[in-house]
Amino acid sequence: MPIHDLVFRGRHLTSDHAMVMAIVNRTPDSFYDNGVTYEEDRAHAAIGKAIEDGAVVIDIGGVPASPGPEVTVAEEITRVVPTVEWIRAEFPDVVISVDTYRAEVADAVCRAGADLINDNWAAYEPEILDVAAQYGAGYICAHVDGLDPRTDPVKPQYDDVVAAVVKDTTELAERAVAKGVPREGIMIDPCIDFSKNTYQSLEVLRNVDKLVATGWPVLMALSNKGVVGETLDVGMDDRVTGTLAATALAAAQGAAMFRAHQVRQTRHTVEMIASIVGTRPPKNAVRWL
């Protein structure tokens, strides 16, 4: 029996190991790749490679999460809609996610064929839940502790950061269901590093099982983030090993999906963890059998 079962606009994803969501940024200033897939042809190539490497969800983003130059609604739509349309035509079975907090953008991408709204800002625009419900799209419930989009926190404080993450994400998930968003397409995301310093992000990482215990599928978006850089004191080009270590721990605790820059390495990590815990058989066990 698969341990993960998700449905996004009628597209079923079942798996005996955690799934991989590939990051493809249509921005010139993303924190990790500095615009390597800003050009449409490069984005297409990256999407094809991600699917070849095992991604089952492609996450398209048109606005960086970090502070920076304003991106209007019109510009965001111009950046992401053509890519969504291209994916839907070229890869009709893949799940398309769009990273946006704007209801108008969510409406445009769903009309273009997107299946999942990856809202990093916890329904900052409440109408985004109505859009997801209208199209039967999936929705990701983030924890940002009330932070405004594209702003940095100032010394975030919690009595219990894990309890706060559980409370806020599950309450948002229930709000989404009440609005009509399909329950089987809702995930919760603790949003590592959003409104969290490194100590707080590490606390969340060591307690992923408490998020899993809520019954909502958990998305982990920790790829190459600041918590890895500060924990290991390494630069952006040296965070893959730390990311995969954190991925392994979260996968062993039951996370359902990982948003990743390094798709193949992430898939190998979660497959290995699933085989160790016993939910996935080895693919080619032949020695001494």
Give the list of residues 6+ apart from residue 78 with CB closer than 8 angstroms, or none.
Answer: none
Distance in angstroms (rounded) separating the CA atoms of residues 68 and 80: 18
CB neighbourhood size of 87 (10 A)? 24
Based on the residue annotation, tell me whether 225 is a catalytic residue of this protein. Answer: yes
Determine the angle formed by the axes of helices 127-135 and 161-179, rounding to 10 degrees: 50
88 in active site: no
Longest dimension (CA), the chain: 61
**Is 161 in a helix, a strand, or coil?**
helix
Q: What letter would DSSP give residue 108?
A: H
Going across the sheet that includes 257-260, the strands are: 186-189, 138-142, 116-118, 95-99, 57-61, 19-25, 257-260, 219-220
Active-site hit among 26, 79, 102, 225 = 225
Give the Å distances, CA to CA, from 165 to 157, 203, 270: 13, 11, 23
Catalytic residues: 225, 259
